[in-house]
Amino acid sequence: MKKYVMWAGMALGLFAGSASGAFADDGPQLLTPHYTYNAKTIISGARLFATNCMACHSIKFMRYEFLTHDLGMSRADVQKDIMLPTGSTFKDNMTSAMPTQMAHKWFGLPPPDLSQMVRYKGQDWIYTYLLSFYQDPKRPSGWNNHVFPNVAMPDVLAPYGGIVNEHGKLLRAGDESPQKFKEQVTDIVAFLRFVSDPSVVQRHDDGPWVLGLLAFFTIVAYFLKKEYWKEVK
């Protein structure tokens, strides 16, 4: 019997390995930085996202009020740093300012909603993507990207991270040091990861209690079982 458990464990291990297979074969090698995932990095990412990304990208399943009770931001901070000044109210969804018709006109297709993007593409893909922009005069936007060739999106983070050409030569330095810029990008990814599943806060808060109660039940049930099975010879 034990060997079946071993084979089952092996199979599960195989699956865990194969799960990431879907996207590993296309595009360049993805960077795998270390992500610090806590309220501080997520809030920092939220501010960066609101400033730089929300002009075009919505995260429509997210509501501003979730930033308070899930992350512990104060309502004032949310209203100051995150909410667009276009008449959103606190309970609204976090949509972008860009009307869809304009998006079609300017970019050819609307910038996608990013609510689930971390689940879809993965943290490493988004991180590498944001660090892979380069100047390309042949493109209408003037930008291109190694991870997503001929993407319509410009490098909005260029002021922070600087501008490089296709071969990685630095053309203009950004305002932040390379180390700090990478931190900012991991913060944005951390925020997007939170957005893709805000239940993580409640899950990790409640999880130990639920599992603790279940463990107590299981232990007591075990003793009850043994009490009856003493009779079985």
Partner 1 sequence: MSDETQDSKHAPNVTRRRFLTALVTVSGAAVAGTIAIPMVKSLDPTAAAAALATTTIDLSPIEPGMQMVALWQEKPVIVVNRTPEMLATLDEAEQKGILKDPNCNVPQQPPYCKNKYRSRVPEWYVGIKICNHLCCIPHYRPKKASVAPWWLGGFHCPCHGSMYDLSARVIKGSPAPHNMAVPEYDIDVAKKTVVVTKMYPLAHLC
Partner 2 sequence: MSFKEWFVKRSPVPEMWREHMAEYYAPKNFNIFYYAGSLLLLMVVLQFLSGFLVLAHYIPTAQGAYDSVYGIMYDVHYGWLMQYMHVDGVSLIFVLLYVHMARGMLYGSYRSPRELVWIIGYTTYLAFMAEAFFGYVLPYSNLSYWAGTVITSLLKSIPFIGGWVTTLVRGGPGMSGDTLNRFMALHVTLVFLVIVGLIVFHILYLHKVGSNNPDGIEIKANKGPDGHPVDGIPFHPYYSVKDLFGFGIWLIIFGAIIFYAPTFHHIFLERTMSTPANPLKSLPDVTPPWYLSPFYAMLRSIPNKTAGILLMVFAVLVPFVLPWLDRNPVKSTRYRPVTRVLLIIFFINFFVLAYLGEQPPLPKYFFVERLGAFIYVAFFLLLPFVSKFEPTRTPPARVRFHAH
State which of positions 80-99 bind partner 1 (CB under 8 A): 89, 91-93
Q: Which does 120 bind (CB under 5 to 8 A by kind): partner 2, partner 1, none?
A: partner 2
Residue 229 lies near partner 1 (rule: CB under 8 A): no
Contacting partner 2 (CB under 8 A), which of 79, 95, 116, 135? 116
Cβ atoms within 10 A of the Cβ of 64, count?
21
What does the DSSP assignment read for 11-25? HHHHHHHHHTHHHHT
Contacting partner 2 (CB under 8 A), which of 55, 170, 171, 221? 221
Spatial separation of the C-alpha atoms in residues 207 and 112, rounded to whole Å: 33
Spatial separation of the C-alpha atoms in residues 52 and 16, rounded to whole Å: 35
Nearest-approach distance from CB 63 to partner 1, in angstroms:
6
Q: Which does 101 bind (CB under 5 to 8 A by kind): partner 1, partner 2, none?
A: none
Residue 77 lies near partner 1 (rule: CB under 8 A): no
Q: Which does 20 bind (CB under 5 to 8 A by kind): partner 1, partner 2, none?
A: partner 2
How many Cα atoms are found within 13 Å in the side-chain-facing hemisphere of 133? 24
Residue 21 lies near partner 2 (rule: CB under 8 A): yes
Q: Which does 7 bind (CB under 5 to 8 A by kind): partner 2, partner 1, none?
A: partner 2
Which residue, 106, 122, 136, is CA-closest to 31? Answer: 122
Place of tokens 């996202």: 49
Which 3 state secondary structure label does DSSP give 54?
A: coil
Contacting partner 2 (CB under 8 A), which of 47, 57, 121, 193? 121
Q: Say if CB 41 and CB 190 are below 8 A apart.
A: yes
Question: CA angle at residue 52 from 22 to 20, to 5 degrees?
Answer: 10
Burial of 62 (0-12, 13-18, 19+ CB in 10 A): buried
Q: Say if CB 195 and CB 203 are below 8 A apart.
A: no
Contacting partner 2 (CB under 8 A), which of 41, 96, 115, 145? 115
Residues in the site for partner 2, rule: CB under 8 A? 1, 4, 7, 10-11, 14-16, 18-23, 25-26, 60-63, 66, 115-117, 119-122, 196-199, 202-204, 206-207, 210-211, 214-215, 217-219, 221-222, 224-226, 228-230, 232-233
Give me the residues that bind partner 1 (CB under 8 A), please. 63, 65-66, 89, 91-93, 210, 213-214, 216-217, 220-221, 223-224, 227-228, 230-233
